[in-house]
Amino acid sequence: MKIPEVIWKRAKEKKKRFVLPESSDERILKAASIAASEGLGTPVLLGEPSEIRERAKTLGVDLDGIEIINPKDFPRFNEYVRRYMELRTGKAGENEAVARRVLSKPIYFGAMMVEMGDVDAMVAGASTITATVIRAGKLIIGLQEGISVASSFFIMSVPNFDRLLFFADAAVNPDPTPEELADIAITTGRSYRAVLGSEPRIALLSFSTKGSAAHPLVEKVVKATEIAKKKAPDLLIDGELQADAALIPAVAAKKLKGESPVAGKANVLIFPDLNAGNIAYKLVQHLAGAGAYGPILQGFRKPISDLSRGAKVEDIVGVMAILGAQA
């Protein structure tokens, strides 16, 4: 994963702290070492320090610039437990014993480190299923105010195209409702703004452009567009748009009768369902030779992200760079 230079540069300028809960994974150790040596920020590994150092020595991994924290003897563990209890007040079956048991698990402890501001982001999923990473994020960090669903985006770098594109949702939500689709559009626009430091132009895609076809699937996108515009008037959002009308100025000029702040200039593409989003990013990646960076989780109050369990070392470093730019 050769991350676009603009993202790499922003991450190195910000130098954030990343917690990596899966320290027993060889790829995590190697990625943490690369991130530290490249000046991306400070990786924080969770686990027994002596075990981590011994494994790193065996693998020939340099741990300079990396912090190691053992949740079992973390001096602020009781403070974390109190915060967990505050977050879970009123939930059936929750008590201090449950809190201690939950926070003894590295994924949940890492999420609490993000919540408490001891790190800026969490990268997990190398050996943990996506559902668990999302569950930890929802349980401890929570979703952004007014946002109903966690989702994901891919950053697509297409050869000979004049802009980076964000594709969403291509990994998490199979069939979002209009309300959920609107929230995915809003959170992806916010992610674009945070990662790249520039303004998103968000297109909600369909097989129809501004009423050129009538179908319940089109109505879903039309409704989602209306909801998104109302909820986030600070973002440039338009739909329903066909992909060519969203991306190509000449096509937009032919297909649209009125003005649009997005058509022909879109840099964020919102797909109506997971079928469309997942198929689209893989086609663009393999047929157009595009770089596809992600999926990156979004919608949480603070940055956490999932990894493919088949992720390579460079993929993990890439996710750290994206979150570093975003945080």
Q: What is the pLDDT of residue 148?
A: 96
Q: Are residues 288 and 305 in the same domain?
A: no
Q: Are residues 98 and 191 in the same domain?
A: no
Q: Are residues 282 and 314 in the same domain?
A: no
Q: Is residue 93's pLDDT more than 80?
A: no
pLDDT category of residue 89 using cuts at 50, 70 and 90? confident
Q: Is residue 1's pLDDT more than 60?
A: no
Q: Which residue range(s) make up the domain with 106?
A: 5-142+300-326
pLDDT tens sequence across 257-276: 888 999 999 999 999 999 99
Q: Are residues 272 and 159 in the same domain?
A: yes
CA 213, distance to chain mean position in Å, is 33
pLDDT-above-70 percentage for the chain = 99
Please write down the HEC assignment for all residues of the chain.
Answer: CCCCHHHHHHHHHHCEEEEECCCCCHHHHHHHHHHHHHCCEEEEEECCHHHHHHHHHHHCCCCCCCEEECHHHCCCHHHHHHHHHHHCCCCCCCCHHHHHHHHCCHHHHHHHHHHCCCCCEEEECCCCCHHHHHHHHHHHHCECCCCCCCEEEEEEECCCCCCCEEEECCCCCCCCCHHHHHHHHHHHHHHHHHHHCCCCEEEEECCCCCCCCCCHHHHHHHHHHHHHHHHCCCCEEEEEECHHHHHCHHHHHHHCCCCCCCCCCCCEEECCCHHHHHHHHHHHHHHCCCEEEEEEEECECCCEEECCCCCCHHHHHHHHHHHHHHC
Q: Are residues 24 and 61 in the same domain?
A: yes
Cβ within 8 Å of residue 248, ≥6 positions away: 264
Q: Are residues 73 and 196 in the same domain?
A: no
Cβ(206)–Cβ(272) under 8 Å? yes
pLDDT tens sequence across 135-168: 999 999 999 999 999 999 999 999 999 999 999 9
Q: Using CB atoms within 10 A of its CB, is residue 67 exposed (0-12), middle (13-18) or buried (19+)? A: middle
Q: What is the pLDDT of residue 92?
A: 66
Q: What is the pLDDT of residue 240?
A: 95
Q: Are residues 282 and 203 in the same domain?
A: yes
Q: Are residues 212 and 273 in the same domain?
A: yes
pTM (2 d.p.):
0.91
Q: Are residues 210 and 118 in the same domain?
A: no
Q: Are residues 193 and 220 in the same domain?
A: yes
Q: What is the pLDDT of residue 250?
A: 96
pLDDT tens sequence across 40-68: 999 999 999 999 999 999 999 999 999 99
Q: What is the pLDDT of residue 86?
A: 92
Integer angstrom CA distances of residue 238 from 131, 147, 189, 204, 242: 31, 19, 12, 6, 11
Q: What is the pLDDT of residue 183?
A: 98
Q: Are residues 44 and 130 in the same domain?
A: yes
Cβ(226)–Cβ(238) under 8 Å? no
Q: Are residues 165 and 281 in the same domain?
A: yes
- Give the CATH number, domain containing residue 236: 3.40.50.10750
CA 171, distance to chain mean position in Å, is 10
Q: What is the pLDDT of residue 123?
A: 96
Mean pLDDT across the chain, nearest whole number? 94
pLDDT tens sequence across 169-226: 999 999 999 999 999 999 999 999 999 999 999 999 999 999 899 999 999 999 999 9
Query: How many domains is the chain partitioned into structurally?
Result: 2
- Give the CATH number, domain containing residue 13: 3.40.50.10950
